A and B are shown apart, each in its own frame.
Chain A
């Protein structure tokens, strides 16, 4: 035994050191989170007031004004994107869940994952070429289509997984009653997977709500009110971006306020969904 004492002591020390280091990694990951939320609250909370929520931006260089049009623009575009993207995504998800063995379905599944990894700025350029050039101008609609393009692959995969979790017996039970397959899927299987699908959809919506890059050449942004989806429209992330890189202190202040508001929106959507409807299984 004594021959091993030194070796064993070293092994134990290495063990303790490395295990402690993994703990340090955990701490180092949490630190930026605390710092980011700390600064958001410190810099942003004091600037969110009635004017910020109800006014449009002041001309360059003037203080005051708000991001009301950006807030409404974001809600408008995200809502439109959900309207366009969710039916496609849920349909595609059901298709994938129903087609286990097919090679085409495997290819679709794989492209969905790959599409998920396409940089959002590239999606923006794609929609610029697809919508903005043919229609002759930037518009909220183009922005929504860009956001929907990002939403589809995300929600497709969660829908697939949620539908798969529904016991096969439910589908068989419906079919055995003589119901057509589409009614069984829509009336029995989909409602059974509802909670997870809604959560997945809301988490996806939360993610696109914070996106800036796909809107740069689609919605473009706007200093004024614009509710018609055929025209350039402001969005909260776009406004935060342009204010953050501007040289004016008052705009910096408003950028922080906008960021705090944006993060509240995003977290309410994604965390609220999980609390209310349960948590979809996460996957890579």
Chain B
């Protein structure tokens, strides 16, 4: 720890471009670089900074340690096995992986067009008196706690979807299209996906808005001056220019959807199976953790749950790391000092 801190402290303690500073400032900086209080200060800050990677590594290490027995017992078959039976100690995680990916995919499919449309409306189109309140409304949506979304989902969204979307679709199309088949329970994959979509729209649209605003005005002007309509300019010039950042925004949204726990747990039906239809009850990785971890009966059960948690962590880490890299790349470096 000290080694990293020291190596790091040396170049960073003196600000860049030191030659340009007046001699008095330079002298003061040099003098204090060697002062004992400042060295202690520096070490303190590095220590605080270090807690963050330590936390991340600690999370991964503790989970891996806890998941090890299950990993040893089930191996790669854990991913494909679809039986989840604490009584006979048979654990396969596929229903949860499937439920997580399917509900998140539904969420992204619904949320992405909405978010980008909203972001375009706010950046390219809406006059300020309209953009400000709508922007504020999306911030309010982002501030609503997950459990409140879940509560609203149980009592408002799920009955609405069951009566107005699922039942009609199942009656009309159920016979022809498998995904619309079967009884409309209400709680299920679709409900989970829709609530997730509502939850990630504010987030995805906020990041998209930033990325779209970063497209130089000169690009828009060039297209408009060539006789392109506003929409053509947006579709052919602005969106392609912002593409990398938008992909990043969508991936950040996907990461959120995958890790989201409470609201989904409350509306997805919590049944460890791979549903045949969009309307069937399912289960996500986060939900099974929320429901079973505190009451896990045996060591194998608990370890299997930690393996689920490790998988969940792995998936979100990969997605988030890629997304951050993309968004950073677009915003010209991670310093945030643009």
Q: Would A and B touch once assembled, by the CB under 8 A criterion? A: yes
CB B222 to nearest CB in A, in angstroms, measures: 18
| Given A95-B45, A129-B62, A176-B28; A26-B148 close (CB under 8 Å) | no
What are 11 A-B pairs with beta-carbon distances under 8 A?
A30-B134, A33-B137, A105-B12, A112-B52, A115-B55, A118-B56, A121-B290, A122-B316, A129-B66, A213-B262, A282-B210
Which B4-38 residues sit within 8 Å CB-CB of chain A?
4, 7-8, 11-13, 15-16, 21-22, 24-25, 28-29, 32, 35, 37-38
Q: Is the interface of B mostly helix, strand, loop or mixed?
A: helix
Query: Which residue of the partner chain A has the closest CB to B17?
Result: A168
Interchain CA distance A241-B120 in the complex, whole Å: 36
CA distance A35 to B155 in the complex (A): 12
For window 2-30 of A, CB contacts with B under 8 Å fall at: 11-12, 14-15, 18-19, 21-26, 28-30
Contact A237 B51 (CB under 8 A): no
Cross-chain contact B16 with A100 (CB below 8 angstroms): yes
Distance to closest chain A CB from B246 (angstroms): 11
Q: Which residue of B lies closest to A149 (CB)?
A: B55
Known: A113-B324, A213-B290. A206 touches B143 (CB 8 A): yes
The complex places the Cα of A129 from the Cα of B16 at a distance, in Å, of 43
Q: Which of A108, A122, A207, A284 contacts B309 (CB 8 A)?
A: A122
Give the contact stretch, choosing among B73-81, B91-99, B161-169, B224-232: B224-232
Q: How far is the CA of A111 from the CA of B54 in the complex (A)?
A: 10
> Please, how many residues of chain A have a CB less than 8 angstroms from a CB on the other chain?
109
Write out the residue numbers on chain A whose beta carbons fall within 8 Å of the beta carbon of B28: 175-178
Q: Which residues of B contact A111 (CB under 8 A)?
A: 52-53, 56
- B309 → A minimal CB distance (Å): 5
| Nearest CB on A from B55, distance (A) | 6
- Chain B positions within 8 Å of A241 at CB level: 147, 150, 262, 266
Q: How many residue pairs between the two chains, A and B, have CB atoms under 8 Å in the bound complex?
A: 318
- How far, in whole Å, are A36 and B51 apart by their CA atoms in the complex? 38
9-residue interface stretch from A50-58, A86-94, A192-200: A86-94
Residue of A nearest to B259 (CB): A119
Q: Are A99 and B8 in contact (CB under 8 A)?
A: yes
A189 to chain B, nearest CB (A): 12
Contact yes or no, B52 A29, CB < 8 A: no
Bitwise, B204-231 to A at CB < 8 A (1) or not (0) is 0111001100000000000000000111
Q: Which of B48, B52, B231, B316 has the most CB of A within 10 A?
A: B52
Spot the interface stretch: B174-182, B247-255, B274-282. Answer: B247-255
User: What is the interface of chain A mostly: helix, strand, loop, or mixed?
Assistant: helix
> Chain B: which residue is nearest A157 at the CB level?
B336
Is B108 at the interface (CB under 8 A from chain A)? no
A89 neighbours in B (Cβ, 8 Å): 48
A276 on the B face (CB < 8 A): no
CA distance A271 to B146 in the complex (A): 18
- Our pick among A117, A152, A259 for the contact of B148 (Cβ within 8 Å) is A259
The 7 closest A-B pairs by CB, nearest first: A210-B145, A119-B259, A25-B117, A91-B48, A182-B41, A117-B320, A95-B49
Q: Which of B21, B66, B138, B290 contacts A216 (CB 8 A)?
A: B290
Is the C-beta of B301 less than 8 angstroms from some C-beta in chain A? no
**Do residues A33 and B141 form an inter-chain contact, with CB atoms below 8 A?**
yes
B268 within 8 A of A: no
B300 interface residue, CB < 8 Å from A?
A: no
In Å, the complex CA distance between A116 and B62 comes to: 18
CB-CB under 8 A for A180 and B35, given A114-B321, A119-B313: yes
